[in-house]
């Protein structure tokens, strides 16, 4: 599929890219193109990582990253290991395609809804198995671990809606209120962050917590001990100071 699309593009220039160059400084254009290509490389690396780490199967799930006013996003139905610089796909915040000829992911409405409503720079959507299992059992992931605080609090489940629809995007935004990740009922996960690494790490943390809850809940005759809201709040305060301080900070 990827090869067929690539053949159809040979020798053609993306009109949007040509329009953007008209009347603009060539050096500035070069810097912009370089930054977009670097962002695309990071996106492809992250997308491939979701497969390698078992968070998606085949072409399920999708990844996006914001580069200025352009949202770079994985194309629909193309295996991530086949993606190259020639397969770059970019859209404006209004959904209009401005880069590439491959069609964007069918979940584009979800990605754009996140960018419009938050300060996100990257979004990762997966069909992670344990998280999807939890999404069909409860309306909210029980407080099995304090890392829920790193996602803003108890992780909610967005009610089911058909993939790729505005309804799903609306349900997702409600579940994301005050959070940086949510579960999608009978579907998977969505997490966002200030970078692709952060969005991916939040996705992985969510899948891990779902797995821990499922494992602990499966022991006959025993009920998992859960954290209280106060305990979660205390952990959240400590997490704000977690990690290495940047140079110049006290």
pTM: 0.86
Laid out side by side, the sheet with 181-184 consists of 97-99, 90-92, 70-73, 62-67, 122-126, 188-193, 181-184, 157-158
Residue 10: the pLDDT is: 38
Residue 173: the pLDDT is: 98
For residue 164, the Cα-to-chain-centroid distance in whole angstroms is 14
How far is it, in rounded angstroms, from Cα 126 to Cα 148?
18
Residue 4: the pLDDT is: 37
Catalytic residue, candidates 3, 107, 140, 207 = 107
Give, to the nearest 10 degrees, the angle between helix 166-176 and helix 108-117: 40
Question: What is 76-89 written as a DSSP string?
Answer: TT--GGG--GGG--
Helix (H) or strand (E) holding 52: helix 26-52
Q: Which residues contact 201 (CB under 8 A, 6 or more apart)?
A: 193
pLDDT average per 10 residues of sequence, the chain (250 residues): 37 40 55 89 97 94 96 96 95 97 97 98 98 98 97 97 98 98 98 98 98 97 96 93 58
How far is it, in rounded angstroms, from Cα 131 to Cα 209?
8
Residue 247: the pLDDT is: 60
Residue 249: the pLDDT is: 44
How far is it, in rounded angstroms, from Cα 65 to Cα 75?
13
Query: Is position 3 annotated as part of the catalytic site?
Result: no
How far is it, in rounded angstroms, from Cα 214 to Cα 205?
14
| 3-state DSSP assignment of residue 221 | coil
Other residues' Cβ atoms within 10 Å of the Cβ of residue 167: 13
Residue 240: the pLDDT is: 86
Residue 12: the pLDDT is: 37
Decide: residue 168, CB within 10 A, 0-12 exposed, 13-18 middle, 19+ buried. Answer: buried
């Amino acid at each position: 599929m990827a090869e067929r699309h690539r053949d159809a593009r040979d020798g053609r220039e993306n009109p949007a890219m040509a329009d953007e160059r008209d009347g603009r400084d060539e050096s500035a254009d070069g810097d912009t193109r370089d930054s977009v290509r670097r962002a695309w490389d990071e996106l492809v690396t992250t997308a491939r990582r979701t497969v390698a780490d078992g968070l998606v199967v085949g072409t399920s799930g999708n990844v996006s990253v914001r580069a200025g006013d352009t949202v770079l996003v994985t194309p629909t139905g193309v295996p991530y290991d086949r993606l190259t610089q020639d397969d770059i796909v970019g859209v404006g915040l209004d959904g209009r395609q401005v880069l590439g000829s491959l069609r964007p992911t069918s979940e584009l409405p979800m990605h754009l809804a996140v960018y419009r409503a938050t300060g996100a720079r990257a979004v990762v959507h997966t069909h992670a198995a344990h998280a999807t299992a939890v999404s069909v059992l409860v309306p909210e992931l029980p407080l099995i671990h304090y890392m829920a605080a790193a996602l803003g609090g108890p992780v909610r489940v967005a009610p089911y809606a058909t993939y790729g629809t505005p309804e799903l995007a609306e349900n997702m935004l409600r579940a994301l209120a005050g959070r940086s990740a949510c579960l999608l009922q009978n579907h998977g996960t969505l997490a966002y962050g200030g970078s692709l690494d952060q969005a991916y790490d939040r996705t992985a943390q969510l899948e891990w917590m779902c797995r821990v809850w499922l494992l602990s809940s499966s022991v006959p005759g025993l009920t998992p001990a859960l954290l209280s809201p106060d305990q979660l709040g205390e952990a959240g305060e400590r997490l704000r100071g977690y990690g290495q301080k940047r140079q110049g900070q006290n």
